[in-house]
Every structure is written in C-alpha cells, then in structure tokens.
Amino acid sequence: MPPMPNYARTVSILLPLVLLLAAPLASARDVAAPAEHVDSDGPYVFREGAQLKAQWICQDQVETHTMHAGSKGAEVAAHCGYPHAVHVLPPNAPSVSVLPAVPRIVAVSDIHGQYELLVRLLRANRVIDAQDRWALGTDTLVIAGDVFDRGPQVTEAFWLLYGLQQQAAAAGGAVHFVLGNHETMVLYDDLRYVNPKYLRSAQLLGRSYPQLYGADSVIGQWLRTRPVLLQIGDTLFLHGGISPDAVQMALDPARTNAAYQASLGIPKAEVKADPATAPLYDGKTSPIWYRGYFDGRLDTPGVQAVLDRLQLKRIVVGHTSMPHVSSFHDDRVIAIDSSIKNGENGELLFIEDGKLSRGLLDGSRVPLAKGEPGLQD
C-alpha cells in the first residue's frame, strides 16, 4: 500500500478530535420551535389593579374574561384547558419554612406537565376524590418541585395544586409546594425544556413564556412565595438535596427561602454572577440541583453528618429520577422522583407516624424500593 499523503494523515488524526470536541455542541439542547396549533390551554390569570384578566387559548384563539377581584378573591369559571373552576385568592404571603411534625405526610415530585397521570395517582391513593377535590382530611401533601417543562399539561397541574392547597386548609390539612430547578429555570428564561405547546401559547398571548408567570400573574405570584427548603418535624423536604457545602443554608431555611423568593425572575446571568445569589443556583451543590446522595460524592457517614448538623432524621428529595420511590443510605435519604415525567408510571411516598411506604398507581401500598448506588438520571 502506498504511503498516506500528509494531508490525509493529518485529517485521519484530527477528525476524531474534531468530532469529540463538537459532540457537546451537537448534543446541547436548544429551545424548541413553537407548536403550530394549541387545542386548549389556560387559564392564565393576571392582576390589573382591582380587576383580574383571565385568558384561555381555545383552538388556537385567545379568549379573555375580566372580573372584579374582591377581598375574598374571585371565581374563574372553567372554559377550556383546566377542567375545573378556579377560586383565585388575594396575593399570598410567603410560606412558612419550619413546621411541627404531623401524623401523616404524602409526598410526590417531578410532575413535569403530566397532569392526567398525577390525577390518576392521587385518586388511586385517595388524596383526591373522583371530582379532583381534596380527600386527605387533616393530613399533609408535599410536592417537591418541577411542575414545569417537558409534558403537555403544566397549566392544569399548577391550578390543581393551587386549588388543593385552599381545600386542604379548609379541612385542617395542608398542601406545600416546594420549588424545583425547573421553576427557577423557566422564571429566569431558560426554556430548553419547555413543551412547544407553551411557546405557541406565549406567542398568541403576546408575552414571553416567563412573562406568563410574571409577578402580576396569579400563579407567578404564588410561586414567588413558595419555599425551597421545608422542614416538617424531623424531615427536610427539598428538590435536589443539601450538600455538605450548603449546610449553612439549611440551618437558616427562612433566610434561604427568602433569598430564593427575592431572586426568582432575575436573569440567569445575573443570579449566577452575583456572589450573594450564585450559591443558590450552583448546578452541582445548590439545594435545587444537588445529586450527591446518589452519584458517589457522599457516602452514608457523610449523609449522617449532614443530618446531625441539621438535627434531622431524614431528607426527602426529587430531581434525580428513579424507577420507584426509593430508600438510600438506610432510610436517611428518600428519593421520590419516580419518573412521572415519562408519562407512564408514578408513585407517592407515605410517612405515617414515622413509618415509610409507597403508594402505587393502582392504589396499593408496598415498602420502599431499595436504591441502588450509582448515578441516576
């Protein structure tokens, strides 16, 4: 065989290197193109002085109703999109960060727009009734973040949780929504995971997608009062996890929650460049992003050291997808992202007088799965 020409040898050496360097660029996720048509979406409800403006998209057409916002709120009738009437309350006050123990807690996370699957799961486990109203009495439901992105029914999921919170409070129970990384991403205009349906909705409504959840919107204002860290008794609920570097944040959860709430909606570049807010959004160590309980960064003694500093028994997190609600580090960490985002299955965590179990999509109750070590999705 004749010797390879110099240029050919150069190409044969450099081409694999070029492909390797280009791979991250080729695999980087771009913002999707808007959908061509929206069958139904809404309501999006905005405050305009003493008025509320509710907007729906029905067969790719915007429909708008205005109403007076009284001291006790206002009723927004079902139209298209979310199938139930919505009672809009006056603006919410910031949520509480630390609460006393309660006998029974049900928890779920990472809904990602899979409203129909969420409803099936909650109905099967008698959290809601056949009319999608609160059925858990004086008990507590915790949602550990990430309603936004991926799936096609984000709007419906938010209104369901917003309404259940009111119904639970009236029954002596509670619903707590804890912010996830996808809530912060949407609000600071990182739209890489937004379903194309919602980019079309934003076009039709004449706003950017983050502006649909601006501080003048009912759900946007509600999100800006939700916590990132929620302690109930001896259990800490959050989306990602507490790393050893972030323990101080969890020692003062009210201050940390206030810092997150104040920063929501500030552009991504600004919050990451500001030394005061950068630790809140660090992609490896912050409470909304940390995965160290599962990827080998933190072993069981390390988890126990974090728990000892915080005087807690367990930490419950979403964010890291599992096939089942799973126990890690001998029940010190409970992972509740059961991959609802895939739209095929989902599970609930039950904590009843300190005893742990999981509720399945058929309504049955079984022990927690034992988490396997190694990096999960």
Contact 34, 43 (CB under 8 A): no
CA dist 228 and 181 (Å) reads 10
Question: Is pLDDT at 303 greater than 50 in this prediction?
Answer: yes
Question: Is pLDDT at 23 greater than 50 in this prediction?
Answer: no
Mean pLDDT for 229-250 is: 97
Q: What angle do CA 221, 223, 228 make, to 5 degrees?
A: 140
Reported as a pLDDT band with limits 50, 70 and 90, residue 29 is confident
Question: Is pLDDT at 342 greater than 70 in this prediction?
Answer: yes
Contact 115, 108 (CB under 8 A): no
Confidence at residue 18, expressed as pLDDT on a 0 to 100 scale: 35
Mean pLDDT for 8-17 is: 39
Write phi, then psi, for 142 (nearest 5 degrees): -120, 130
Contact 38, 196 (CB under 8 A): no
Question: Is pLDDT at 317 greater than 90 in this prediction?
Answer: yes
Contact 269, 277 (CB under 8 A): no
Question: Is pLDDT at 19 greater than 80 in this prediction?
Answer: no
Question: Is pLDDT at 5 greater than 90 in this prediction?
Answer: no
Nearest to 156 by CA among 207, 102, 191, 201: 201
* Of residues 27 and 296, more confidently modeled: 296
List, for residues 250-283, the tens digit of each pLDDT value.
999 999 999 999 999 999 999 999 999 999 999 9
List, for residues 173-227, the tens digit of each pLDDT value.
999 999 999 999 999 999 999 999 999 999 999 999 999 999 999 999 999 999 9
Contact 322, 351 (CB under 8 A): no
* Of residues 54 and 373, more confidently modeled: 54
Which domains are present in the chain? Answer: 40-88 (no CATH), 98-370 (3.60.21.10)
Reported as a pLDDT band with limits 50, 70 and 90, residue 373 is low
CA dist 236 and 246 (Å) reads 14
- Arithmetic mean of pLDDT over the chain: 92
Confidence at residue 372, expressed as pLDDT on a 0 to 100 scale: 78
